[in-house]
Structure 1
């Protein structure tokens, strides 16, 4: 299965909105979340991309015995990523910019998004 950057971003935004993701831990059941994300993502896509978020260090937690995940919290790195890509216009522009380079790596999208945000801040401050 392919990693889907849009799915990863959607999962992080959803986790951030959850009061239970507070450092004490909560369950993340891809089958339950499929109801929320249908028709955009199915449970297999949600599960695989959650595994990718854990592997990348954007989320702290582990896989449980039921096939779901026990999520402790979004890591500092995960929050930094969200802060850079929260705005959908920045996200779309960063993805487009990354694609022009011939690669579509999440780290490159993040770096392009950070550059776009920085340019926006500089423009607003007249720097």
Structure 2
């Protein structure tokens, strides 16, 4: 199953919007909350947990449900870097030109785009 940058961003935005009491187990997050299929959604949630962007307790249960408490500081930083739609579009465009990506690369490119937006003097790459 391929990773989807848009689905990763969407999941983080939705989880950020939840009140803390709503996030106690992953099954409280409906697959209908996201644009992917149920298997895609759960796979991307697991990847976000594995990457340390979501705060999880323990191991998944037999149904692969996680106890999620929210996002980690790294998750919030990542989301803040890709939150703005214009920055996000430019980040994806640059990554598409590269032909591949890692979360670290996405974050680095998004940070550069944010700095450009703030007028911090970066030249076009």
Compute the TM-score of the two structures, normalised by the length of structure 2: 0.82
In the TM superposition, structure 1's runs of 4+ consecutive aligned residues that sit over 4 Å from their partners are none
Number of matched residues? Answer: 118
Per-residue deviation, residues 40-73 of structure 1 (Å, max 9, x unmatched): 2111011100110011110121423333221022
Counterpart for residue 38 of structure 2: 43
- CA–CA distance in 2 between the matches of 1:109 and 1:14? 19
Counting only pairs closer than 5 Å after superposition, residues 38-117 of structure 1 correspond to structure 2 as 40-61=35-56, 62-117=59-114
Counterpart for residue 20 of structure 2: 20
Superposed CA RMSD in Å reads: 2.1
> Where in structure 2 are there 5+ consecutive unaligned residues?
121-125
Shift in Å, 1:5: 1.7
CA contact (8 A) 1:16 1:74 kept: yes
Q: Is the partner of 1:64 in helix, strand or coil?
A: coil
Counterpart for residue 27 of structure 2: 29
CA contact (8 A) 2:14 2:33 kept: no
Shift in Å, 1:93: 0.9
- CA–CA distance in 2 between the matches of 1:26 and 1:52? 18
> Where in structure 1 are there 5+ consecutive unaligned residues?
none
